[in-house]
Amino acid sequence: MKRKVPIDFAEERLNERLARTGLRFTAQRRHVYGVLLEKKDHPSAEEVFMRAKDDMPDISMATVYNCLDTLVKCGLVKQVNHDRGATRYCSNMREHHHFYCDECHGTFDIDYDPSAEEPEIHMPDGFHVRAYEIAFRGICPDCAARKRGK
Amino acid sequence: MKRKVPIDFAEERLNERLARTGLRFTAQRRHVYGVLLEKKDHPSAEEVFMRAKDDMPDISMATVYNCLDTLVKCGLVKQVNHDRGATRYCSNMREHHHFYCDECHGTFDIDYDPSAEEPEIHMPDGFHVRAYEIAFRGICPDCAARKRGK
DNA sequence: CTAGGTGCAAAAGGTTTGCGGTTAA
DNA sequence: TTAACCGCAAACCTTTTGCACCTAG
């Protein structure tokens, strides 16, 4: 089987990340990660499941969810949520943002160079931005206080 | 019943927005909007339903979803999606962003002044940002071309 | 050896749909 | 008057859970 992605290289990275997080390396985790690397079109869990079954017919939906969660925990995969639809998964490891099309509901990666002094976002040609929203993540004041307290 | 929000003023705005969008003014739409204005804590549809029932016991879940969709369409309410949980609704009409706490999973509004030359985001004290992502919305190149074509 | 991971099937959670009756304009 | 809207209940889609078996370390 031909692969567009240097999967052996990715496998090493997965192995290292799992070890660092105290998790085991399994065939299913490698395979799900491979599926995400092979076609970076932001598939839903259901879509990942169907693609994964091609080469691993016995894999279960529950395992796909488990593997996806594991990969997110390791920092190898990002969850992408939009409207009320299913969560989608993204293995683009470069820092990037997303563009959602109001018309076809497609999701597109928008790259930028985070190392630049003034990180500039280059919007590719033809994308018409109507609105944008920044989602920050971290620890809120109350939870920070609680953690310091205990 | 005392209200913290000048609901009559909001009612006028709702009426105007509905008319402009060619939609009807109904008691349910007003009431759901009132619920969102009264406590801006990003409730889910289920939570809106429960609060709405206090004053309007016969309102149904389907109607709550319909009203929420209508309010989003009118531009009076924003949907907020995060992780795999239920969609939450936000009636903060000022341009703003959101902060998600990794610990308690709470959602907080992060305001900014969009009229400023260099729109600066002031992160309130005590919020520790671990990561952020920008979600752009609009029309993708393919859909833009298709619309021009037809 | 054994804690952690998997597969299965059932349940839970969230959202949508179809339809007969009601209402704003 | 009538197209739009509502309430109800069933269906649908997505995600989680419990448990018996399996396996990486």
> What are the pLDDT digits (tens) for A20-44?
999 999 999 999 999 999 999 999 9
Task: Find the range with the poorest average confidence among A71-75, B27-31, B115-119.
Answer: B115-119
Cβ proximity of A50 and A39 under 8 Å: no
User: Do the chains contact at B101 and A139, CB–CB below 8 Å?
Assistant: yes
For position A34, what pLDDT does the model report?
Answer: 97
User: CA B125, CA A141: separation in Å to the nearest integer?
Assistant: 8
Q: How far is B27 from chain A (nearest CA, A)?
A: 25
User: Do the chains contact at B99 and A138, CB–CB below 8 Å?
Assistant: yes
Residue A4 reports pLDDT greater than 60? no
User: Do the chains contact at B140 and A130, CB–CB below 8 Å?
Assistant: no
List CB contacts (< 8 A) between B82 and chain A.
81, 135
Q: Which of A127, A121, A113, A105 is nearest to A42 (CA)?
A: A105
Q: Look up residue A81 and give its two tokens.
A: 């949520």
User: Do the chains contact at A130 and B123, CB–CB below 8 Å?
Assistant: no
Sign of the CA dihedral with A113 first, then A114, A115, and A117 last: positive
Instruction: Using CB atoms within 10 Å of the CB of residue A141, give its burial: 0 to 12 exposed, 13 to 18 middle, 19+ buried.
Output: middle
Nearest nt by C1' to B65 Cα: C15
For position A121, what pLDDT does the model report?
Answer: 82
Percentage of the residues of chain B whose pLDDT score is greater than 90? 75
Q: Which residues contact B5 (CB under 8 A, 6 or more apart)?
A: B34, B37, B38
Cβ proximity of A139 and B128 under 8 Å: yes
Residue A119 reports pLDDT greater than 90? no
Of B100, B131, B142, the CB nearest to A104: B142
Residue B97 reports pLDDT greater than 90? yes
| A127: number of Cβ within 10 Å | 16
Q: Look up residue A70 and give its two tokens.
A: 């594991």
User: CA A123, CA B104: separation in Å to the nearest integer?
Assistant: 34
Residue A71 reports pLDDT greater than 60? yes
Q: Which of B150, B130, B148 is nearest to B139 (CA)?
A: B148
Nucleotides of C under 7 A from a protein CB: 4-10, 13-18, 23-25
A72: nearest CA in chain B? B83
Q: Which domains does chain A have, with CATH numbers?
A: 7-80 (1.10.10.10), 94-149 (3.30.1490)
Cβ proximity of A129 and B135 under 8 Å: no
Task: Find the range with the poorest average confidence among A59-63, A116-120, B30-34.
Answer: A116-120
User: CA B96, CA B113: separation in Å to the nearest integer?
Assistant: 8
**Contact B143/A at CB under 8 A:** yes
Q: Look up residue A8 and give its two tokens.
A: 């052996």
Q: Look up residue A125 and give its two tokens.
A: 């040609």
Residue A60 reports pLDDT greater than 80? yes
A84: nearest CA in chain B? B87
For position A124, what pLDDT does the model report?
Answer: 93
Q: How far is B1 from chain A (nearest CA, A)?
A: 32
**pLDDT average, residue stretch A124-150:** 90
Mean of pLDDT over chain B: 91
Which residue do the tokens 């280059």 mark?
Answer: A122
Confidence of residue A52 (pLDDT cuts 50, 70, 90): very high
**E strands present in chain B:** 78-80, 88-90, 96-101, 107-111, 128-139
Give, for A78, the enclosing helix (H) or strand (E): strand A78-80
Q: How far is B41 from chain A (nearest CA, A)?
A: 15
Confidence of residue A2 (pLDDT cuts 50, 70, 90): very low
Q: Look up residue B61 and give its two tokens.
A: 């879940």
* Structure confidence by residue, pLDDT tens digits, B128-142: 999 999 999 999 999
